[in-house]
Amino acid sequence: MEYTLREICSLTGGIVLGDGSTKITGVGSLEGAGPGDITFVKGEEFIRNALNTEASALVTHREIKEIKRPQIVVEKPFLAFVKVLQIYSKEKLKRPQGIHSKALVAKTANIGKEASIGAYSVIEEGAVIGVRVTIYPMVYIGQNTQIGDDTLIYPRVSIREEVSIGKRVIIHSGTTIGGDGFGYLQVEGRHVKIPQVGTIEIGDDVEIGCNVTIDRATLDKTVIGRGVKIDNHSHVAHNVIIGEDTMLIAYAKIAGGAVIGKNVMIAEDVGITDHAIIGDGCVIGGGSNVYKSLKPGSVVWGSPAKPIMEEKRLQSLLKKLPSLRETLKKLTKTLKEQGILKDEVDH
C-alpha cells in the first residue's frame, strides 16, 4: 500500500492538517506504528498515548497541536480508520487472478472475470463463480453451487452441492457449508437416516468464521440473511432461518428449524432449541440455553434463559445461600435451646 495522506483523506472524509503529500505505506496502533504508518486517536483519553507515537500521520477527532505530524481530522476517527484498514487489508490479501495450474475446475463450471482460483481447489460441474471471487488453495465447491461477486473463501472450506452464496461474503478456513442435517427416524430401536435433500441460501455481506458448520435443509432451505456475522466454531442446523444483521458469537448452537429474527445478538456458547422462534432485536447472554420462543426485544440470560434482571437476582441470591444456611443453623439451635422449636428441622 502506498498512498498520500491527501488520497487517504479523500476516502475517509475530513480535512488534512499538515503535509498532504506525506507517503503512507502501512497502518499501526499508537504504540506500535512506525515511520510510514498511519494510526488513529479514538478520543480525548488517548491523546497522551498519541504524543509519543512514531507514526507518520494520525486520524484524529480534533486537531492535536502538541503533535507535530500531519493529521486527518474527522468526526468519527475510528470509523475513518476502519476504512483505511479495509484498503490495507484488500491490498495485503490480493491474490493473482486466474486459475492455478493445479486447481481442478470442471468444464461446465462458469468462472467470472478477475476471479482467483488457488492450487488444489476443486470446482465441480455446473458451479458458478462470480466476478472477482477469491478462492484460496484447497477449497471444495460442489456441483451447481453459486458464489456471488467479490466473495472471499479461505483455505480448506468445503461447500457442497447446490448451495447459493451471495455477494461480498467472507468464509474463513475450516468451515463446512451444506453438510447433511442431523435427521433420523427411530424404527424398532434403530436410527434410519432421513435424506437431506434441501439446500442453503446465504445472503450478501455475510461473514462466517473458522470451523463453522451450516447444515443443508431436509427439504426447502436453510437461510442465512443478509449481513449476518457468525463467529468461529458455531453450528447452524438444518432448516434454520437467521434474519438480517443478526450476530452469532463463538460456539453458538442453533438447533433444527429454529427461526432467528433480525438484529439479534447471540452471545458466546448459547444453545437454542429446535423450532424456537426468536423475535427481532433480542439479546441472549453468554452461556444461555433457550428452550422456548422469545418475544421481539427480549434480553435474556441463564439456563434456562430468563429475563436478565430476574437471572441477576437469582445469581445474587445463590451467592448468599452459604451464609443464609449458617444463619439458619444458628437460629435453629437457639430456638431449640429455648424450647421454642421442638421438631427436628432438616438443614
For the segment 234-246, what is each residue's pLDDT rounded down to a tens digit? 999 999 999 999 9
pLDDT of residue 92: 85
- Domain endpoint, select from 92, 110, 138: 92
- Domain endpoint, select from 58, 92, 126: 92
d(CA 216, CA 208) in angstroms, rounded, equals 16
Q: Are residues 117 and 148 in the same domain?
A: yes
Q: Are residues 32 and 77 in the same domain?
A: yes
Residue 12 sits in a domain of what CATH number?
3.40.1390.10
Q: C-alpha distances in angstroms, 128 versus 197, 213, 319?
A: 20, 22, 58
pLDDT of residue 342: 73
Q: Are residues 134 and 278 in the same domain?
A: yes
According to DSSP, the β-strands at 229-230 and 247-248 are parallel
Query: Is a pLDDT exceeding 80 seen at residue 47?
Result: yes
Residues 6 or more apart in contact with residue 223 via CB below 8 angstroms = 200, 201, 203, 240, 241, 242
Lowest mean pLDDT: which of 107-116, 167-176, 335-344? 335-344
pLDDT of residue 204: 98
| Three-class DSSP category at 167 | coil
Q: Phi/psi zone of residue 129: left (φ > 0), alpha (ψ -120 to 50 degrees), beta?
A: beta
CA 37 to chain centre: 28
Q: What is the pLDDT of residues 180-220, one digit of tens each?
A: 999 999 999 999 999 999 999 999 999 999 999 999 999 99
Q: Are residues 116 and 262 in the same domain?
A: yes
Q: Are residues 219 and 171 in the same domain?
A: yes
Q: Are residues 166 and 62 in the same domain?
A: no
Quick check: is 248 in a domain?
yes
| pLDDT band at residue 102 under the 50/70/90 scheme | very high
pLDDT of residue 344: 57
Cα of first residue to Cα of last residue in the chain, in angstroms, is 71
DSSP letter for each residue of 61-82 = SS--TT--S-EEE-S-HHHHHH
Quick check: is 197 in a domain?
yes
Q: Are residues 187 and 204 in the same domain?
A: yes
Q: What is the pLDDT of residues 53-78, one digit of tens each?
A: 999 999 999 999 999 899 999 999 99
Q: Are residues 159 and 192 in the same domain?
A: yes
Cβ neighbours of 42 (radius 10 Å):
17
Q: Are residues 8 and 38 in the same domain?
A: yes
Q: Are residues 87 and 191 in the same domain?
A: no
Query: Is a pLDDT exceeding 90 seen at residue 333?
Result: no
Report the pLDDT averaged over residues 256-285.
Answer: 98
Quick check: is 104 in a domain?
yes
| Residue listed under C-alpha cell 507517503 | 23
Phi and psi for 313 in degrees, rounded to 5? -65, -40
Q: Are residues 221 and 156 in the same domain?
A: yes
Quick check: is 53 in a domain?
yes
Average pLDDT score, the chain: 95
Quick check: is 346 in a domain?
no
- Domain endpoint, select from 70, 92, 114: 92
Q: Are residues 73 and 106 in the same domain?
A: no
Residues with catalytic annotation? 238
pLDDT of residue 307: 92
Residue 193 sits in a domain of what CATH number?
2.160.10.10
Total number of domains constituting the chain = 2
CA 160 to chain centre: 21
Quick check: is 341 in a domain?
no
Quick check: is 313 in a domain?
no
DSSP strand E in 198-245: where?
Answer: 199-202, 207-208, 213-215, 221-224, 229-230, 235-236, 241-242
Show the domain range for 72: 3-92
Quick check: is 33 in a domain?
yes
